[in-house]
Structure 1
Amino acid sequence: LQVIEECYGKDTDYYRITESNLRQAEHEASEHAPANVSQDVSQDASAGGNGSGTPGAAPAGTPSAAVPSATASHTGTSPICGLKLARECWNAYGKPLIADKYPEYQGRIAAGLVGHGSECYGFDDDLSRDHDFGPRFCLWLTDEDYAAIGERLQADYEALPQSFMGYGPRESTARAQGAGRRDGVFRIGDFFESITGYRQAPSTNNPHEWLMLDEATLAAATNGEVFADPLGKFLDTRQGFKTMPEDVRLALISKRLGMMAQAGQYNVPRMLARGDGAAAWLSIGEFVQAAASLVFLLNNPITVGYLPYYKWRFAALRRLSSRMATRLADVCGQLETLLRLSSAACYGGAGFGEGGKGSAPVAEKISQTIEHVCAEVVAELRREGLTGSDETFLEWQRPYVEEHIASDAACLHSL
C-alpha cells in the first residue's frame, strides 16, 4: 500500500482494491484467531476505515445482513452519485449472489462500474437521471469462467431487484441495450472491445493503432471504479489502456502544439481581421480543444486519465485543475474566458459594446489570452526538459519535442 500510494496515489483502483483485500484478510484472520488477537485485528480495521474508498460502503467480507437495506430510500438525504449507488448495490446484491450461488468463483469475478455514462465519470447530477441511470454494476469474467457460468450469472443479475435505495427501475435508451448494454456480465476482452475495438491495449510496437484511439474512447475504457478484482485480470487489461506509450504521448503533444499554433496563434487574428466571424469562432474552438487535450497529456494519462468527449471536457478539466500539483492548472479558466468572449469578438460588430467601442477590445483580449496560454505551455515544456527554446509560436516547438521520440515510425513524426 505504501508503494502504491507513493507511485500512483490513494485515489486509484490499485490502492482501493489492495486495501480492500487487506481488510478481507484481516476479517478472515479475526474469525480464526484467539480472542485477544481477534480484538486487536478488529480495532486495527476499525481505525483504518472500510478500505473501499467510499464512505459507508461495507468492508470486504461483511455479512450481507450488515449492508444497507435494499428498501432504504434516499428521501430526506442528498442525492447519491451513480458510482456510490453502484458500489452499494454491489455490496447489497452482487456479493451475496455470488457467495450464495457461485461460491467457487468468489475469488475470480471482478466487479465495478466503468464505461459510458456520466456516472462512470463522476459527473452525474439530477439532470442525468432521466435515462440510463439507476442501480447497476458490471461483472467481468475470464473467457473460461464466462463459458462456464456467464449466461447463468447474467440471468441471475437480471433477476435482481430493479429498484434500490429509492432509485430505479432504470430506463435504458436504445443505445444502452443489446450489444451496447452498460451493465451486467461480460467477458473482460468483450467489454474492452465494445468500447475501443480492441480486446487488450495495442502493443507499443504498433503506435499507429494507439493513434487511431482517440482520447475520449480511452477515457471511457479507463474511467469509473473497480470494486473487486481478486484475479487482477480486469485491472491488468485496463491498465494497458491507461499506459499510453511515451512515444505516442509525445507525438500527440506535438500535434496539439501544431493545432494551437495554426488555429489560435495564426488563424484567429487573421479571421477576425477579415471579418469572418464564423471562421474565427471555429478557430477558437480548435485552439480550445487542442489546449484542453494538451493539459491532460502533459499531466500524463497514466496519472490523471484521458480527456473525455466534448460534453464532459470542461468538467474533467476543472476537476484536474483543482488537484494539487497539476501542471498548467490555470489554463482551464483562460480557455473558458476565450469561449465566453468569442461571441462578442466574432459577431460584436463595429458598434458593439459600451460607448460603441466595437468588438476590437474583446478581440485583442482573445489574442492576448491565446498568447498567454502558449507562453505558459512553453514554460512547462522547458520545465519537463522537452525543449530548450523560448520560442512562443508553438509550431516551432514541435521539432524539439519530437527529438525525444525514440521510434522512427513515420506516424509519430510531423512532416
Structure 2
Amino acid sequence: MTFIQGLELSKRFHFEFIEPMIADHFSNLSYTSALIGPGSEVLGYDTEMSTDHDWGPRVVLLLQEKDMHLVKDIVQILDIHRPQHFYGYPVDLKQTVITSIEQFLVSKLAIDMDKGIDLLDWLTFPSQILAELIGGEVFRDDMGRLTTFRKHLQYYPHDIWLYTMASIWNRIGQEEHLVLRAGYVGDELGSSIIGSRIVKDIMNLCFLMERQYAPYPKWFGTAFKKLICAEELMPLLMKVQSSRTWREREDALCQAYESIARMHNRLGITEAMAEQVSPFFDRPYKVIQGSTFADAIVKQITDPIIRKLSQIRLIGGIDQISDNTDFKSINQWSSVSQSEARNIVRALYDKILE
C-alpha cells in the first residue's frame, strides 16, 4: 500500500465521505470541516511510522451552537455508512471531533472568540498550539468564522513579537558568559549543558525573526531546518553541541551570535546593533552582549501594558517560562475550568504589573 500523508488522506475523507453524507442527511446544515489541532499530519511531518496510533482519515467538524443538538444524529449517520477502510487505512470515527467552533477554541486557547484576544493573552498560548491552529487545511467553512480566526492567529501582534524576541535576547545575555565561565574552571559538562540551552534560545529566536511558530520538541529541529537561516546556522549549532572543549564551543557560539546579530539588523526594527562579539569585561572570552539587543527592542514597544511588563521583567511567554509539557498544556487541563486554567498563567503577568 502506498503511503498517503494524513492531510491528503483526511482531505479525501472529507470530500468523498463526510461531505456527501452530510449533504444527503443534513442538507441545510452549515458547518466547517478541517484538519487542524494535534497530530503530526497537521504540520506535515507524518511518515509511515505515524500510522501506528492516533492517525488515520479524520476531520474536525465545527457546527453552529444552534445546531449542536444534531451531534448524536450526525455521529450515528456517519457510523452507519462509514467504510471499514479508506484507501487501505482503517476508519475510526472516534478520531473525528464534532463540536462548535466556540467550544473548540476554548479547549485549545481558553478564550471566548467573540470577546477577542488581548495582548497579554498571547503570552499564555504555546507556540505549538498556535502552529496546530493555523496548520493543516480547512476543507469547508460555510460560516467563514474559522478562516477569519485563523487569519487573526497567523502570527503574533507586533508588540508581542518584539517582547518575545527581547526576552530571548535577554536570556542569551544572561547565560552567554556562563557557558565560558563553567568551561574556564574545568566544568566541561556544565559548559555543554549551558551551551545547549543557548542553542535552543538561538533557534527559538530564529523562528521569531522569520515569523514562524516553533513546534514542540519532536519537530523542533525538523522545522528549524526549513528556516532560511538554517543553512548558515545548522553547522555552527551542531558544532556547539558536539564540541568537547569550551574554547571550541566558544568559537562556534561566537559565529552563531554574529549570524543572528546580522539577522536582527536586517529586520530594521531597532538602530543598527554591533554585529561582532566583544570581550566580557576583562575576562578571557567573548560574547555578543545579548542584553543590549533586548534593551534596543524594548524601546520599540508601544503598547503601554506590554512596555511596562518588558521594563519590569523580560520573562517572555509560556514557551520561555517553562518547557514542561503538562504546564504548557494548561489551557486543556480537564481538572479545572478553562477560564481558571488561563488565569493561572495570566496571574503571573498581572502580578508583575501590579
TM bucket (normalised to shorter chain) is: 0.7 to 0.9
AA of the residue aligned to 2:52: D
The equivalent of 1:87 in structure 2 is: 11
Cα distance in 1, alignment partners of residues 262 and 115 from structure 2: 32
Q: CA deviation at 1:182?
A: 5.2
Amino acid at match of 1:184: V
Residue in structure 1 matched with residue 233 of structure 2 by the alignment: 331
Displacement after TM superposition at 1:333 (Å): 4.2
Residues 272 and 202 of structure 1: CA distance in aligned 2, closer, same or farther (over 3 Å): farther
Alignment pair present for 1:274 and 2:185: yes
Equivalent of 1:293 in 204, 213, 230: 204
Distance of 1:110 and 1:124 partners within structure 2: 24
> What secondary structure is seen at the aligned counterpart in 1 of 2:177?
helix
**CA separation of 1:164 and 1:333: change in aligned 2, threshold 3 A:** farther
C-alpha distance in 2, partners of 1:187/1:333?
46
Which residue in the other structure is 1:21 paired with? none
In the alignment, structure 1 segments of 5+ residues that lack a partner are 1-74, 173-180, 346-358
State the 1:165 CA deviation.
0.6
CA contact (8 A) 2:37 2:129 kept: no
Distance 2:71 2:235 in 1: 47
Q: Distance in 2 between matches of 1:334 and 1:227?
A: 41
Q: Which amino acid aligns with 1:183?
A: T
Q: Deviations over 1:208-253 (max 9, x none)?
A: 2211222122222222111121321111122232242111010000
Q: Tell me the amino acid that sits aligned with residue 198 of structure 2.
A: F
Please tell me whether residue 128 in structure 1 is matched to residue 39 in structure 2: no
* Equivalent residue, structure 2, for 1:307: 214
Deviation at 1:115, TM superposition (A): 0.9
Partner Cα distance (1:208, 1:217) in 2: 16
Letter in 2 for 1:167: Y
Q: Which residue of 1 aligns with 2:106?
A: 193
SS in 1 for 2:99: strand
Normalising by structure 1, what TM-score? 0.66
SS at match of 1:104: coil
Q: What is the identity, as a one-letter code, of the residue corresponding to 1:386?
A: I
Deviation (angstroms), 1:311:
0.8
8 Å Cα contact 2:59-2:97 kept in structure 1: yes
Alpha carbons of structure 1 residues 399 and 151: separation in structure 2 relative to 1, 3 Å: same
TM-score w.r.t. length of structure 2: 0.76
Counterpart in 2 of 1:401?
Answer: 297
Which of 239, 244, 248 is matched with 2:160 structurally?
Answer: 248
Q: 2:124 aligns with which of 207, 212, 219?
A: 212
Letter in 2 for 1:237: F
Q: Which letter maps to 1:398?
A: A
Letter in 2 for 1:390: A
Question: In the alignment, residue 161 of structure 2 is paired with which amino acid?
Answer: R
How many residues are aligned here? 297
Q: Which runs of 5+ in 2 are unaligned?
A: 276-287, 314-354
Offset, 1:185: 1.2
Aligned equivalent of 1:96: 20
CA distance 1:283–1:308, shift in 2 (3 Å): same
Structure 1 segment 159-238 matched on structure 2, within 5 A: 159=80, 160-170=82-92, 183-200=96-113, 203=116, 206-238=118-150
Take 1:95 and 1:214, find their aligned partners in 2: how far apart are those partners?
32
Change in 2 beyond 3 A, CA 1:293/1:381: same
**Could you tell me how far apart the structure 2 residues matched to 1:210 and 1:299 are?**
18
Partner Cα separation in structure 2 for residue 196 and residue 257 of structure 1? 26
CA distance in 2 between counterparts of 1:309 and 1:368 reads: 28
**C-alpha distance in 2 between matches for 1:229 and 1:113:** 12
Is 1:109 matched with 2:31? Answer: yes
Structure 1 residues 340-359: aligned runs within 5 Å: 341=242, 345=243, 359=244
CA distance in 1, matches of 2:110, 2:236: 35
Which whole-Å deviations, capped at 9, do the CAs of 1:150-182 have from their partners, x for residues lacking one? Answer: 332233334422421111245x9xxxxxxxx75
Contact kept, 8 Å, 1:112 with 1:225, in 2: the verdict is: yes
Cα distance in 2 for residues equivalent to 1:405 and 1:289: 25
Letter in 1 for 2:291: E
- The Cα offsets for residues 30-88 of structure 1, whole Å up to 9 and x where unpaired, read as xxxxxxxxxxxxxxxxxxxxxxxxxxxxxxxxxxxxxxxxxxxxx2x3x1101011111
Correspondence for 1:386: 269
- By how many angstroms is 1:278 displaced? 4.2
2:102 touches 2:113 (CA, 8 Å); kept in 1?
Answer: yes
Contact 1:115 1:221 in 2 (8 A): yes
